[in-house]
C-alpha cells in the first residue's frame, strides 16, 4: 500500500512550548487512521502544519509524494480538512458558501457534488439560508461539506462530531465509511474513543508533542493484560466478601452483581472459584481491554517521562 502522508523529523515550537517534537509518521493511502491524544498533545498543531496554516520549524511533510511547501497548491487540492473551530462568512447562504469554496480549487460548476453533500449531511432544506440561522450541529455539518466539496483524496476530521447529535453522528460516519471504501484516506482526531475504536485501522497516540505509540487497533488493545468479568446472581450477594472468594471485586448489592478486573492468565482460576460456590448465575459477561485503557496507560506514561 502506497503512502498518503509522510512526516519526517517535524518540529514546531511556540516560544518555550515545544508543540511538536521530532514527529515521524507514515499514513497509508486508503486507510482509516486515528490520531489521538489529550488536550495540548499537538494534534491540531500537526494538522495545521499539514494544511499550511501553521509554519513548521523543521522537518518535511509530503502528501501523495509531493512536498507541502514546494507543491503547496497541489497538496492543498489533495486535502480536505474539517477544523475544530466553526467559522463562516455570514453573508452567503449554505449553497453559496459551498460554491465559493469550490472556486478556491478552480471548480466552476459542481452543483451535483454540492447536492450530494447537502443530502448526505441533511442540509438540503437549509441550502438557501445563512450560517447565522443554523444550529451548532448544522454549522458543523456545513464545515464538513466545505472540506469535501472539492472531492479530496485525503480527508482530515478534527473532532468532527463535537457537539453533534447522535442521529447526525451516525449518518456522518455512514457517509465517511463509504468514502473510505471508495479509496479515500481518512484521518480522524476525536475525544470519543469509542468512535476511534470502531472506525480506525491504525492509531497514533500523541502526548506533549510526541508520538507515543503507533500500531493497529488490535495490537494496541491486546497490549493491555486485562479482563473485566461481570457476574449477576439470582439471589442476594450480601454474604459475598473478598475473604470468601479470595478475589478482589466490586459489589453491587442492588443488582446482585460483582465485577472483577484481572489479568488474562487468572481467568480460569477465577471462574473455577465462582463455580465452586454453587450459586445460581443469571448472567455473565467477560470483556477485554478497550482503547480507552490503552490511551490512559500511554498518556500517563508520557506524563511520567516529562
**Strand runs labelled E in 15-127:** 17-28, 32-36, 58-63, 66-67, 79-82
Give Cα 132 distance to the centre of its chain.
Answer: 28
Given this model, what pLDDT does residue 288 score? Answer: 84
Given this model, what pLDDT does residue 239 score? Answer: 66
Residue carrying C-alpha cell 454540492: 114
Pick the CATH number of 227-288 from 1.10.3660.10, 3.40.718.10, 3.10.129.10, 3.30.70.100: 3.30.70.100
Question: Are both 3-222 and 227-288 of the same fold?
Answer: no
Given this model, what pLDDT does residue 125 score? Answer: 95
Given this model, what pLDDT does residue 45 score? Answer: 95
Residue 191 cell numbers, joined: 475525544
CATH class of 3-222: alpha beta
Q: In what order do the strands lie in the sheet with 79-82?
A: 79-82, 154-158, 185-189, 32-36, 202-207, 210-216
**Strand runs labelled E in 89-208:** 154-158, 185-189, 202-207
Task: Report which of 60, 17, 10, 23 is spatially closest to residue 40, judged by C-alpha positions.
Answer: 17
Q: Which pairs count as long-range contacts for 137-140, CB under 8 Å and 24+ apart, including other chains?
A: 137/163, 137/164, 137/165, 137/168, 139/86, 139/88, 140/86, 140/164, 140/168
Domain locations in the chain as residue ranges: 3-222, 227-288
Q: Are 283 and 209 in contact (CB under 8 A)?
A: no
- Packing angle between helix 94-103 and helix 136-148, nearest 10 degrees? 30
CA distance 264 to 228: 9
pLDDT, one tens digit for every residue, the chain (306 residues): 699 999 999 999 999 999 999 999 999 999 999 999 999 999 999 999 999 999 999 999 999 999 999 999 999 999 999 988 888 888 899 999 999 999 999 998 899 999 999 998 889 999 999 988 988 888 888 999 999 999 999 999 998 887 777 877 888 889 899 999 999 999 999 988 999 999 999 999 999 999 999 999 999 998 888 888 999 888 877 667 676 666 778 888 878 888 888 888 888 888 888 888 787 888 989 988 899 999 998 998 444 443
Q: Are 164 and 172 in contact (CB under 8 A)?
A: yes
Residue 112 cell numbers, joined: 451535483
The pTM assigned to this predicted structure is: 0.84
Amino acid at each position: 500500500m502506497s503512502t498518503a502522508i509522510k512526516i519526517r523529523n517535524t518540529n514546531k515550537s511556540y516560544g518555550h512550548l515545544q508543540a511538536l517534537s521530532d514527529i515521524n509518521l507514515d499514513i497509508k493511502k486508503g486507510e482509516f487512521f486515528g490520531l489521538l491524544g489529550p488536550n495540548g498533545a499537538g494534534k491540531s498543531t500537526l494538522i495545521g502544519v499539514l494544511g499550511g496554516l501553521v509554519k513548521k520549524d523543521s522537518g518535511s511533510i509530503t502528501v501523495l509524494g509531493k512536498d507541502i511547501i514546494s507543491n503547496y497548491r497541489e497538496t492543498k487540492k489533495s486535502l480536505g480538512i474539517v477544523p475544530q473551530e466553526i467559522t463562516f462568512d455570514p453573508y452567503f447562504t449554505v449553497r453559496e458558501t459551498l460554491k465559493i469554496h469550490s472556486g478556491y480549487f478552480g471548480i466552476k460548476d459542481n452543483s451535483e457534488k454540492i447536492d450530494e453533500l447537502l443530502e448526505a449531511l441533511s442540509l438540503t432544506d437549509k441550502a438557501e439560508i445563512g450560517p447565522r440561522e443554523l444550529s451548532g450541529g448544522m454549522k458543523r455539518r456545513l464545515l464538513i461539506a466545505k472540506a469535501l466539496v472539492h472531492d479530496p483524496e485525503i480527508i482530515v476530521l478534527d473532532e468532527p462530531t463535537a457537539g453533534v447529535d447522535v442521529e447526525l453522528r451516525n449518518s456522518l460516519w455512514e457517509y465517511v465509511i463509504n468514502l473510505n471504501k471508495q479509496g479515500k484516506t481518512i484521518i480522524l482526531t476525536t475525544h470519543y474513543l469509542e468512535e476511534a475504536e470502531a472506525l480506525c485501522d491504525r492509531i497514533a497516540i500523541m502526548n506533549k508533542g510526541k508520538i507515543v505509540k503507533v500500531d493497529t487497533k488490535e495490537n494496541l488493545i491486546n497490549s493491555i493484560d486485562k479482563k473485566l468479568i461481570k457476574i449477576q446472581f439470582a439471589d442476594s450477594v450480601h454474604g459475598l466478601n473478598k475473604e470468601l472468594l479470595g478475589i478482589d471485586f466490586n459489589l453491587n448489592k442492588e443488582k446482585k452483581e460483582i465485577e472483577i478486573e484481572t489479568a488474562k492468565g487468572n481467568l480460569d482460576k477465577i471462574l473455577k472459584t465462582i463455580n465452586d460456590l454453587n450459586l445460581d448465575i443469571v448472567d455473565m459477561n467477560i470483556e477485554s481491554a478497550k482503547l480507552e485503557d490503552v490511551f490512559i496507560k500511554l498518556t500517563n506514561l508520557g506524563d511520567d517521562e516529562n
